[in-house]
Structure 1
Amino acid sequence: MPEVSGTTVQAKVAVPVITRLRVGPAGSQIMAVLDDESFDLVVMGSHGRTGLRLALLGSIAEKTARHAPCLVMIARDRTS
């Protein structure tokens, strides 16, 4: 399904969209791809957890933004 989503975005926006499907812990897999390849921007979604929930569960998007070698844009759900 990621290829369909990438194609949909690419059809509406004049920028290349690259999707990857990897198996394993999300945070380490994302960082592995970022270390192996060169990207200008990574766009990620986030649940928008704050406070204790963020401290207990962590945030892959937040950790990626801190450690990525490129820009990271985090889109949060307005309803959370």
Structure 2
Amino acid sequence: MMARVERLGPEMHQNILVPLDGSELAECVFPHLRALVRPGHTHVHLLSVLTLGLGDRTVALLTTYPPGLQLSTTVMARAQVELRSYLQGVAARVREWGAVVRYEVREGNPAEEILRYAEEQGIDLILMGTHGLSGLGRWVYGSVADRVLRGAPCPVLLVRPQRPESGTQNTERRT
């Protein structure tokens, strides 16, 4: 698949969606986000998605949980509170860069919810971290980033975490 690569500039994007799950992988996008923020002009949307159940067959193959197991209401409520608290902290940090920030926690399939949110909010750019898995790793774990990249209504900037040996980050952009 060919992708058109363009120079990223802060003037290009005013509504940026950053899907976060609390992991270091997801947070590897922060230096790129900071570079894109135009104080007073950029709206950053932080989104976390809680998966309702472990219905994916690959999860069932890798764990002792049967497909379709639903997480308890108590566990889901606790996870909602923890994610909101996490996003609130991230939002405070991003506001210091001059961005207008909103955050939301949704429930469902992460890729579907990210795409739905992007469509609903008129997002200009989705900025997210990725493992960059291929082959068996992608098949076993699936790739939220891949599904978002293929279905997004806007450009997507995927950022891989820094490689320890080089200290550099890989970025991939598709428009």
1:38 aligns with one of 101, 117, 122 = 122
SS of aligned partner of 2:158: strand
- 1:6 to 1:75, Cα distance in 2 relative to 1, 3 A: farther
Which residue pairs with 2:151 in the alignment?
Answer: 67
Task: Tell me by how many angstroms 1:79 deviates.
Answer: 4.2
- 1:62 to 1:79, Cα distance in 2 relative to 1, 3 A: same
In the alignment, residue 128 of structure 2 is paired with which amino acid? Answer: M
1:8 aligns with 2:93: yes
SS of aligned partner of 1:22: strand
Normalized against structure 2, the TM-score is what? Answer: 0.40
Task: Output the aligned Cα RMSD.
Answer: 2.1
Normalized against structure 1, the TM-score is what? Answer: 0.76
Measured against aligned partners, the alpha-carbon deviations of 1:11-55 in whole angstroms (never above 9, x if no partner) come to 13x444443211111111111112212111111111221222113
Give the number of aligned pairs: 79
Gaps of 5+ in 2: 1-85, 165-175
1:19 aligns with 2:103: yes
- In structure 1, distance between residues paired with 2:108 and 2:154: 22
Gaps of 5+ in 1: none
SS of aligned partner of 1:43: strand
More strand by percentage: 2
SS of aligned partner of 1:77: coil
Contact 1:48 1:77 in 2 (8 A): no
The percentage of aligned residue pairs carrying the same residue is 28
- In structure 2, distance between residues paired with 1:17 and 1:70: 19
Contact 1:42 1:70 in 2 (8 A): yes
1:78 aligns with 2:162: yes
Contact 1:22 1:29 in 2 (8 A): yes
Which residue pairs with 1:52 in the alignment?
Answer: 136
SS of aligned partner of 1:39: coil
More helix by percentage: 1
